[in-house]
Amino acid sequence: MKKRVVMALLAMSLLSTTAQALTLEEARTQGRVGETLTGYVAAISKDKETLALVDRINKARTESYQQLADRNNIPVDDVAKMAGQKLVERAKPGDYVQGINGKWLKK
């Protein structure tokens, strides 16, 4: 019985940690991250939580871009740049995007 309670508490703590993790949408809304023309998200705020989110998002994007590049027989950098342009264009008003000059602009 005690083992079940411990396991249940452990499972609930893992779920609550996941539920409290910063999402990309929250980070965008809070001005903590912005989209770049390179196809990757970049941290505006350099706190630990934001940097971890950026790392996680960019790793997932890299895998996705690589799959698309392999499927279409084109360089992965080309896929990332095409995605970057679309992501910057689709950014919502109030989101940050990085301009050609490297400066952050609020859409």
pLDDT tens-place string over residues 7-23: 444 444 444 334 468 99
- The upper half-sphere exposure of residue 104, i.e. CA atoms within 13 Å in the direction of its Cβ, equals 15
Structure tokens at 81: 């740049």
Domain ranges of the chain: 23-106
Please write the tens of the pLDDT for every residue from 14-53: 443 344 689 999 999 999 999 999 999 999 999 999 999 9
- Which pTM does this prediction carry? 0.78
8 A C-beta contact, residue 105 and residue 90: no
Structure tokens at 107: 């859409």
Structure tokens at 63: 């895998």
